[in-house]
Structure 1
């Protein structure tokens, strides 16, 4: 697994639930995640899945605190996890081992076979293999051995939350990514992911369902899942993209992913500024306050607006907001929008 660590969760998981593995499909939504552990594939949040549906949406996540997530990669170390090899079978395992980096189509095909065989495993068989894996890792931990090669710490944590869940094996197909505050990652449509821990601000394109892959008591549509996933392997570094400081406002940092659907702005207002203008845009936007307090005024609002940590404000197209800061430490805000 790559050195950076992180794992995506299903955006529909409640703040108190652990991770869930799934894949979402296209309803524009923007949210701040603070709990993670759910494995899912990338389309948007809804309460009830609907099939068939269009390709799932893309999404971008910006860490507002230390954040860990599982992102798409489909990298497997069979030698470290013989229990996974038993589930996949020798033929499929050897096919994956023979595929080389110079043959991306061959690698993708082999990964599809391996992942599909895992997800279609008979329940008693995969539960037995999972229990064997957990016992082995637990014993190695007790003996003080290094279990990083088999992602021992993460496996035991997820198994304690979802014992006997197929999602515990899917971590061997994903990158473990660690984002520092201010870093961002972009996940395209049909890419599985799971949030593990930490705070992030997330924005995603339109979607009307979620296809789950594990770490959940809810229904898993295995056939749809295995058919729709993107099996192209990639390093975690390819999912991470930097913020660009705005040339018009030095307090604004732009996270502009490679899709036209959405953009996130990080706005850092220093304590020295007591009056700050949120500029008007051609599109509507949503403002989220992470830190600081202020009173907002707008020609579109009938009265003053008191803003503090957790406040969410809808800003109409061509509307500007004046912030009268009252916080001694300045303000940290995120703005979700679409650059037209």
Structure 2
């Protein structure tokens, strides 16, 4: 039984994905010659799934058996400690506690959040056709290309500044709520109970505004911005407002530009979104890792089901600068060309490898399973007693628990992302 082997990911076509080979998803699927994959240059390739989730299960390249079934038959590849720690997530049945993805974003994703474990269990019980599993979904996004996103609530003074400068935004909210919010906006405790309640009232008022109220205001706002009449404080959001409106004309989610942080990231930058944090990815290609779940609560910028009551009730309302969400990479076991992204949850961490041509780097054994994707270059993965496999862009590999792996770059720089879990 091999401890390292290639697996076949699943591609997902969603409306917001990048078209044809402009998408990293399509590029990787084409380069690695995924069995059964035929490129459609006019189709939106949005996601590449690597893992055991039932909605997009990976398979072994050699046998076409699902990764989940194979791991259930060979639990030593997951490891006793991980099986015990994540037994409730189905680890004993071959389920990995994380789901690894590539996303290629042309059109903004919905204004959304993910439930915590308790809320996920309740939603799954109440609406199993919508919320199809009972797990939470904290997630981390690492930029492959320049990437933009909205994430978390803006600092309260910044929201108050928009209320003062943007009458079309303030018009959506009852004056009593505006007054209470402005009164606490400069609080020294922005995450205190009074401050959170005021932010919740404001956000709820915006997201539940009637179309007859917000659509004329949005039309007036866009007309003002198109004519170059934005105020100084609005310049930071003007382009975002116009972009979102062009993609989702007349959608209340456009006003979230005045409520949520907007971040612009370069390759190698990362953000982490815990349960209850509102966000929307706007553009770019990313590596994404999350707890194994597909639970999404949506409220705007989407043609899909909107569940505003559950979104409003499930948010943390912890207003802060966007730096709160940044994940700073650190050294990985003193290995020279690998950095570690380690968010504050047990389900996953991610390694980023950028290996110069002709060099070899050894990853020490990890006490749990991992999945790696080659995002650039060619090279070799070696393990055990001389076992090895050639890899190139788009290849996806499973690495069993306790396996030391040697990576060698050939013909230029080798780039690899590797998600793993340790108990």
Place the TM-score, normalised by the shorter chain, in its bin. Answer: 0.7 to 0.9
CA distance in 2, matches of 1:156, 1:169: 11
CA distance in 1, matches of 2:293, 2:237: 32
Shift of 1:153: 0.8
**For the pair shown, which has the larger CA radius of gyration, 1 or 2?**
2
Spell out, residue by residue over 1:209-263, the C-alpha distance to the aligned partner (whole angstroms, 9 max, x if none).
2111211111101111111111110111121131111234222211111222211
Shift of 1:324: 4.6
Give the structure 2 partner of residue 72 of structure 1: 152
CA distance in 2, matches of 1:324, 1:299: 15
Q: Which residue, out of 123, 129, 140, partners 1:60?
A: 140
Query: Is the 2:150–2:279 contact (alpha carbons within 8 Å) kept by the matching residues of 1?
Result: yes
Query: Is the 2:112–2:296 contact (alpha carbons within 8 Å) kept by the matching residues of 1?
Result: yes
CA distance in 2, matches of 1:112, 1:162: 24
Shift of 1:330: 2.2
Q: Does 1:242 align with 2:328?
A: yes
Give the structure 2 partner of residue 42 of structure 1: 113
Larger relative contact order, structure 1 or 2 (CA cutoff 8 Å, min sep 6): 1
Structure with the higher fraction of residues in helix conformation: 2
Q: Does 1:114 align with 2:202?
A: yes
The SS at the match of 2:143 is strand
CA distance in 2, matches of 1:245, 1:150: 34
Give the structure 2 partner of residue 310 of structure 1: 394
Query: Is the 2:358–2:408 contact (alpha carbons within 8 Å) kept by the matching residues of 1?
Result: no
Query: Is the 1:266–1:335 contact (alpha carbons within 8 Å) kept by the matching residues of 2?
Result: yes
The SS at the match of 2:146 is strand
Counting matched residue pairs gives 317
Shift of 1:28: 3.2
Give the structure 2 partner of residue 174 of structure 1: 260
Spell out, residue by residue over 1:102-155, the C-alpha distance to the aligned partner (whole angstroms, 9 max, x if none).
2432221111001111111112221121111111111226xx975744611111
Query: Aligned-pair RMSD on alpha carbons?
Result: 3.0
Q: Which residue, out of 339, 343, 351, partners 1:257?
A: 343
Q: Does 1:164 align with 2:244?
A: no
Q: Structure 2 matches for 1:273-312, cutoff 5 A?
A: 273=359, 275-298=360-383, 305-312=389-396
Unaligned stretches of 5+ residues in structure 2: 1-12, 19-43, 47-88, 90-96, 116-123
TM-score by length of 1: 0.83
CA distance in 1, matches of 2:323, 2:418: 25
Q: Which residue, out of 21, 27, 31, partners 2:101?
A: 31
TM-score by length of 2: 0.68
Give the structure 2 partner of residue 338 of structure 1: 421
Query: Is the 1:71–1:177 contact (alpha carbons within 8 Å) kept by the matching residues of 2?
Result: yes
CA distance in 2, matches of 1:285, 1:149: 43
Shift of 1:12: 6.8
The SS at the match of 1:111 is helix
Query: Is the 1:28–1:204 contact (alpha carbons within 8 Å) kept by the matching residues of 2?
Result: yes
Unaligned stretches of 5+ residues in structure 1: 1-10, 20-25
Q: Structure 2 matches for 1:316-331, cutoff 5 A?
A: 316-327=400-411, 329-331=412-414
CA distance in 1, matches of 2:337, 2:132: 43
Shift of 1:309: 1.7
Give the structure 1 partner of residue 213 of structure 2: 125
